[in-house]
Copies of this chain bind each other. A is one copy, B any other.
Amino acid sequence: MSLLVTGSIGIDTVTTPHGSADDVLGGSAIYFSFAATFFSPVRLVGVVGEDFPDAFRDVLTRREINTLGLETRTGSKTFRWTGKFVGDMNEAETVGVDLNVLAEAGPKVPAAFADSRIVFLANTHPALQRELLAQVNAPKLTVCDTMDLWIENERDELLKTLGMVDGVIINDAEARQLTGVYNLVEVGRQLLSCGPKFAVIKKGEHGAMLISADGATAIPAYPTDNVKDPTGAGDSFAGGMLGYLAESDDFSPASLKRAIVRGTICSSFTIEGFSLNRVLETTRDDINTRVAQFTRMLRID
């Protein structure tokens, strides 16, 4: 089942207590795509500048990522993010952002992608999320993410977007900010009242919670002390989750739960290295092995 992602593609510079990586491939759509392609091909929609390195394009060819929707805009520069994680590495501290091409007009969904069945709208302006969504004909499953900036400044636009998607994947702090309540079961219920049929609340090192008409399901994170760089963990989670749903073509509550486990495991690999370093050396077998181990961990006999 075809899976389309729209989101940022960037050049990151990241420092953590374990080292740093300068001018590496990053962005929400990138982390999503590399996780999703463990399970399903991905159609990538995003825009970069003329300065986007050829080496990064080469990396994209190492997976089943269709780059027909990757626009290289003449005269523009690629989005850049510089951040650091300190101490417990629980939150990224943004040192600098150059929106560059992301401050211009959004990308277009190529006509060949209009038949996509699953669409993930990674974080961007909620009006642009809807504009992109409108370019897909009859998606079977649509899911979005968002961020504090839009919750604060574009609340009405964001609520309109939430009213049009089947699911939302959002982190706990932002979900609490949006709904104004603390308890995550109640947060999830309020998210559903905005339109989505399911909400997945990401809790970082504490895992994730799924809320749907069936109730609340809590899944812990994969326990590890091997965390080099948390950049992209949330987008890898979403990528693994939707990649699995694209592969399985089953959106039942049991399948959503299996998908969350895949997302959890994908992000557990992402954080073991800087940028995509660890993900690029990970195989589907590695994923399967860790999924099986995690599933056993959660099995109460």
Contacts and interface: CB of A to CB of B under 8 A. Distances in A.
A295 to B, nearest CB: 5
Contact of A218 (B216, B220, B258): B220
Nearest to A207: B220
Contacts of A112: none
Contacts of A206: 203, 206-207, 220
Interface in A272-301: 294-295, 297-301
Interface string A180-194: 001111100100000
Contacts of A225: 183, 185-186, 189
Contact of A299 (B184, B189, B299): B299
B220 A219 contact: yes
B223 A217 contact: yes
B223 A220 contact: no
Given A206-B206, A218-B221, A227 B300 contact: no
Contact of A185 (B185, B224, B300): B224
A257 B221 contact: no
A34 to B, nearest CB: 23
Given A203-B206, A206-B206, A298-B299, A182 B88 contact: yes
A182 B90 CA distance: 10
Residue among A185, A209, A220, A257 facing the most chain B CB atoms (10 A cut-off): A220
Residue among A87, A203, A298, A300 facing the most chain B CB atoms (10 A cut-off): A300
A254 interface: yes
A206 B205 CA distance: 10
Contact of A297 (B184, B218, B224, B297): B218
A220 B261 CA distance: 14
Contacts of A185: 223-225
Interface in A82-130: 87-88
Nearest to A258: B300
Contact of A301 (B88, B207, B258): B258
Interface string A229-273: 000000000000000000000000010011001000000000000
Interface string A56-93: 00000000000000000000000000000001100000
Nearest to A187: B225
Contacts of A301: 254, 258
A258 B182 CA distance: 29
Contacts of A295: 300
Contacts of A205: 184
A219 B299 CA distance: 10
A300 B257 contact: yes
11 contacts: A184-B223, A186-B225, A207-B218, A217-B297, A218-B223, A218-B297, A219-B220, A258-B301, A261-B300, A294-B300, A298-B298
Q: List the 6 closest pairs (A to B, CB-CB), nearest first.
A: A218-B220, A216-B223, A206-B206, A185-B225, A88-B182, A298-B298
